[in-house]
């Protein structure tokens, strides 16, 4: 009996690890900057009470705020890098917590800014912006500020809410420390008795492998570990929800959903329409489960069969080849765009590529305006990992172009548009592969990746969105939810989604909510479903050669937060205020199911 081993991060060739020294040359340099920023907070507070002095004071204050936040963002980016690749690194965890605290202190020090602008009044600010070129770029910020005026409190309350950012964020850290650092999952046991270690990074590879016994034991052991801690995990998640409900009441919103969507100026109907459209189109998913069951030749499709390969062999795609394929798929966006992607992956070391001990599960893109747009993932040399890389590169290119074209004030963007950029990359690369590949096995692998992508973003995420809304509404009513309540709700939602096509192990399926740290970012998951809808519409527009489509998309990426997200997507060429993009995504999904059914017979 043999056991596969996973390397430590320090044992991986540096060219496959992200370029942390490009951010700070050493931990000591990071520490020195941390001390310096903390000392400079006093200078920022010196502007409090002075904005009414005139345009000069306002210009100086906003410059100081932007400069200090850029430094904090950079500190935060570096602090998270070592922790992400080794959650057992106590020094890295301490730096991460210190950066989080400093961010909260900076937010508190700048909390005077919005209340003082509101006190000045919109007519005065509009006049200053028109008369002083240094302030002209604040136009959208001022518009957004007065739109949200009813929910901005006094300077004292805003300062308190800023200070609460640190303790409020600890629930997500607790979940990560428990699931990523402390959990020790049982070994998966393959059909031949071989043991395979199960980690957050390695689970996906096992579940997408051909050995059903390995899949079963990996999935059951993974879920059972979460179930063994269900009460702690439920209490922690409910604490996060309680914090959000507290903030909702402090800011005088009618509901947490309204508060979440008020910030990015998205109509509440967009969320509810997504759920309604999803439920209406569930028969497409029910048909897919039957196609998959027949293709696998199993009597009952189990949850651990959803990622099982339909092809006998899965093409190997080394990292460098994946980068080349992604670049080919993105060619319609122009040479400059493609070369930036290629250089980031192969030269500038944006990506921390391979699995290692203690590495966080999943994948993400992160960074700051003064860093590279870094990517953490666990690449496993196959089409699914290539798709994940394409997805995260979509985020990174969105960040890269935003940081190059926007001031710090607009250097971020909402999750609503972020998931469009990431899914757009996947849609472009997938369409390129389906159009150019001739090998049936490769085509089948590409279709499997497509269905896996849609399964995650267009089945799992809308299901989690329903769960999340129900949990928040229960807390708003003062009822709350226990671990068993959450498990029962999740199991019911999956039963509806599976429609009898997949066996529902109610306890193990019901604990799915605990495996998604996304739920600690309130009302985040629905963005994946709206994002994949907009992405497929925009990819079709670009690939079909619609005049100006590529330039429109690049303008969207460069906009950052200088536009409301719905308006930014209109610049790109899609209107998310209508249900049409969601319906169109289901049409694409139905076409993929048709093509898969014909290919597997």
Is residue 339 annotated as a catalytic residue, yes or no? no
Q: What is the 3-state secondary structure (H, E, C) of 288-344?
A: HHHHHHHHHCCCCCCHHHCCCCCCCCCCCCCHHHHHHHHHHHCHHHCHHHHHHHHHH
For 218-250, give one letter per residue: b (16+ CB within 10 A) or e: bbbbbbebbbebbeebbebbbebbebbbebbeb
Pick from 75, 18, 60, 76: nearest CA to 363: 18
Going by C-alpha positions, the residue among 46, 76, 63, 214 that lies closest to residue 134 is 63
Sheet holding 374-376, edge to edge: 351-352, 374-376, 364-366
Tokens in use for 44?
């920022």
The closest alpha carbon to 306, from 314, 318, 316, 296, belongs to 296
Q: Output phi, psi for 308, to 5 deg.
A: -65, 140
Out of 392, 419, 468, 475, pick the active-site residue.
Answer: 392
CB 325 within 8 A of CB 429: yes
- Going from the C-alpha of 222 to that of each of 91, 197, 202, the distances in angstroms are 28, 11, 11
- Contact of 265 with 147, CB cutoff 8 Å: yes
The Cα 256–Cα 477 span in angstroms is 11
> Three-state secondary structure along 381-427?
CCHHHHHHHHHHHHHHHHHHHHHHHCCHHHCCCCHHHHHHHHHHHHH
Residues labelled as active-site residues: 392
């Amino acid at each position: 009996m043999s056991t596969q081993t996973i390397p430590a991060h320090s044992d991986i060739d540096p060219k496959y690890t992200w370029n942390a020294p490009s951010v700070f040359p050493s931990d000591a340099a990071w520490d020195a900057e941390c001390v310096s920023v903390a000392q400079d907070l006093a200078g920022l507070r010196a502007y409090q009470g002075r904005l009414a002095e005139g345009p000069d004071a306002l210009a100086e204050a906003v410059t100081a705020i932007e400069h200090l936040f850029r430094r904090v963002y950079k500190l935060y980016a570096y602090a998270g890098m070592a922790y992400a690749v080794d959650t057992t690194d106590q020094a890295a965890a301490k730096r991460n917590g210190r950066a989080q605290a400093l961010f909260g202190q900076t937010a508190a020090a700048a909390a005077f800014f919005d209340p003082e602008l509101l006190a000045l009044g919109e007519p005065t600010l509009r006049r200053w912006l028109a008369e002083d070129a240094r302030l002209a770029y604040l136009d959208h910020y001022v518009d957004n500020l007065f739109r949200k005026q009813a929910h901005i409190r006094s300077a004292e309350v805003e300062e308190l809410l800023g200070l609460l950012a640190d303790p409020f964020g600890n629930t997500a850290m607790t979940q990560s420390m428990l699931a990523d650092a402390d959990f020790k999952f049982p070994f998966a046991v393959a059909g031949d008795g071989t043991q395979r270690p199960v980690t957050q990074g390695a689970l996906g590879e096992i579940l997408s492998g051909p050995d059903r016994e390995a899949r079963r034991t990996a999935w059951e052991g993974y879920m059972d570990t979460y179930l063994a801690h269900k009460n702690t995990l439920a209490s922690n998640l409910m604490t996060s929800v309680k914090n959000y409900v507290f903030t909702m009441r402090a800011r005088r919103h009618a509901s947490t959903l309204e508060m979440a969507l008020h910030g990015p100026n998205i109509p509440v109907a967009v969320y509810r329409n997504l759920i309604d459209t999803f439920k209406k189109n569930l028969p497409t998913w029910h048909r897919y489960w039957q196609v998959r069951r027949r293709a696998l030749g199993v009597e009952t499709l189990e949850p651990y069969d959803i990622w099982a390969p339909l092809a006998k062999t899965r093409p190997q795609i080394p990292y460098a080849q994946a980068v080349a394929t992604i670049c080919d798929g993105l060619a319609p966006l122009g040479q400059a765009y493609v070369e930036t992607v290629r250089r980031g992956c192969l030269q500038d070391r944006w990506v921390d590529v391979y699995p290692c001990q203690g590495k966080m599960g999943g994948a993400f893109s992160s960074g700051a305006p003064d860093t590279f747009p870094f990517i953490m993932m666990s690449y496993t040399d196959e089409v699914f990992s290539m798709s994940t890389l394409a997805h995260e590169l979509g985020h990174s290119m969105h960040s890269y172009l935003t940081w190059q074209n926007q001031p710090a004030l607009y250097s971020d963007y909402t999750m609503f548009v972020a998931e469009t950029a990431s899914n757009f990359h996947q849609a472009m690369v997938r369409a390129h592969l389906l159009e150019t590949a001739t090998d049936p096995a490769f085509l089948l692998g590409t279709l499997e990746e497509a269905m896996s992508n849609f399964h995650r973003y267009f089945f799992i995420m809308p299901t989690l969105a329903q769960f999340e809304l129900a949990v928040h509404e229960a807390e708003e009513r003062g009822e709350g939810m226990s671990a068993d309540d959450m498990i029962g709700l999740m199991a019911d939602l999956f039963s509806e989604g599976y429609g009898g096509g997949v066996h529902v192990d109610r306890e193990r399926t019901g604990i799915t909510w605990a495996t998604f740290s996304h739920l600690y970012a309130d009302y985040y998951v629905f963005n994946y479903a709206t994002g994949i809808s907009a992405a497929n519409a925009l990819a079709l527009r670009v690939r079909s050669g619609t005049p100006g489509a590529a330039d429109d998309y690049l303008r969207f990426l460069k906009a950052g937060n200088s536009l409301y997200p719905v308006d930014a997507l209109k610049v790109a060429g899609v209107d998310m205020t209508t249900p049409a993009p969601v319906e169109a995504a289901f049409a694409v999904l139905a076409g993929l199911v048709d093509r898969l059914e014909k290919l597997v017979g």
